[in-house]
Amino acid sequence: MSSTPANNDDDTPKDPLSEMLANLMGGKGMEGFDPAELAKAAGLPSDPNVLAQMLSQVQAMMSGSSDSPVNWDLAHDAARKAAAGDDPSITPAQSKAVDEALRLAEMWLDPFTDLEATAITGRAWSRAEWVEETLGTWQRLTEPVANSIAFAITSAMNEQLPEEMKSAMGGAASMMQNMGGALFGLQLGAAVGALAKEVVGSTDIGIPLADLQMALLPANIKAFGEGLEVPEQEVLLFLALREAAHARLFVQVPWLRGHLFGAIESYARGIHIDMSRIEDLAANLDPSNPETLQAALSDGVFMPARTPEQETALAKLETALALVEGWVDEITFEAAANLPAAAAIRETIRRRRATGGPAEHAFGSLVGLELRPRRLREAAALWSSLKEQRGIAGRDAIWAHPDLLPTSADLDDAAGFGARRSAADASDSDVDAALAKLLDGGFDNLPPAGEDNDGGTPGDASDGGPVAEK
């Protein structure tokens, strides 16, 4: 009767990867291992070229920056790869067309806003250039939540790993420590790269991703215009008006960029990761199926319910985004009066901004934040009402200070905002006048309490009031 191997006490076949790790832990090393069999056991492709590419990514994971748990180099590479494909370089003709469209847009905007032109030179970008110019801003917006997720995943996986496995892994510990951040970087890069195929300019999502720049993406503008049955030049001019209006607002209202980013960062700081879900995932993680963790990140399964502080920050952000997009929407449409299809293009953009594209949804699931102006139409109506009440200069003066901005409640009653603001201003003026009079000594001659101007008591005969009975 044949003897049963010592490493297999029953008839149940062992997982090949687990058996290899057991052999390694037993001191047998890599002797006799076929690389192809090792790749197969680990669930890796047998194609040498594909395997080499994956191993280079693993090496990048192991050499991640110690300054951040998120591997931003991987995010950059993933974004570039996702944006690649049918992304030709910008031609001189395209650069000229975009520059001329933005210059014309600046002239068309002048009569419809009190904010001055920016004198920024317009540029035409490929999708890859959009990634390069905006990735730093994406890093700033997502780093707080990225750090939280990376630390949580690393902690959970380390806790789930047996002690003997930790010692056996040896030098691979650094890979484990960087794996969560690397996977997040890959997912974020893929989302940003996909977004590069949808956006038409540098401010298309309502925030200035590239500071002090105006840019349009000809390839995406062409795709946007397909199906509209509108001449491409007309679409280009309308989108140039929007880009120039955004740039004018963010340049001439210098506090606005920080106001938006501050709301985003306040929201992100409040994100707390659902550790129970990460622990469940780590406990059941299949080494041969790394897509499980990637899918979990994409679906946003680690994001718990928002805290009250997050809800406040999110409401502030959504209102600010709506006000920005509503103002741009309103003056763009006014300036585009000479374009026959202006109304159709405007409605298409409104619906696009309200619903968001697939890449924007992917980004939202990943970081728990969607940068969409949910109340764009109400905000546009408010700016229109303010123009009728106060004129162009009075409407644009609202941007002078963040305290002057309409609130979410004001969006509910756009027509009544002007009257409420005028009443508030009048009340403030009364208080200011009374305070000035007090500081100037204007109240020094007032009678003491309980006396009137003649020194008597209120209501006596000298005041013409009733005389007390004797």
Give SS3 for 215.
Answer: strand
**pLDDT value of residue 51:** 47
* Domain boundary assignment for the chain: 70-378
Contact in structure between 381 and 413 (CB atoms under 8 Å): no
Confidence (pTM): 0.71
Collect all residues with Cβ–Cβ distance below 8 Å to 370 and sequence separation of at least 6: 356, 360, 361, 363, 364
- According to DSSP, residue 114 is labeled S
Question: pLDDT tens string for the chain (470 positions)?
Answer: 444 444 444 444 444 444 433 443 344 444 444 545 544 544 444 556 554 554 455 555 545 544 666 788 888 998 999 898 888 899 999 999 999 999 999 999 999 999 999 989 899 999 999 999 999 888 888 887 777 666 666 666 566 666 665 555 544 445 555 666 777 788 888 889 989 999 999 998 888 888 888 999 999 999 999 878 899 999 999 999 999 999 999 999 999 999 988 888 878 777 666 666 666 666 665 555 556 656 655 555 555 567 788 788 888 888 999 999 999 999 999 999 999 999 999 999 998 887 777 667 767 766 677 777 888 999 999 999 999 999 999 999 999 999 999 998 899 887 778 777 766 566 555 555 655 666 666 555 545 545 555 555 444 544 444 444 43
In the chain, DSSP finds a helix count (H) and a strand count (E) of 19, 2
pLDDT for position 18: 44
Indicate the SS3 state at residue 123.
strand
What whole-number distance in Å separates Cα of residue 104 and Cα of residue 120?
13
* Residue 159 CA: distances (Å) to CA of 122, 206, 243, 355, 404: 52, 41, 49, 40, 51
SS3 430: helix
* Three-state DSSP state, 357: coil
In the chain, the largest separation of any two C-alpha atoms, in whole Å, equals: 134
In the prediction, which pLDDT does 250 show?
Answer: 95
Using CA atoms, how far residue 194 sits from 271, 293, 362, 385, 462, in Å, is 24, 20, 9, 38, 86
Given this model, what pLDDT does residue 165 score? 58
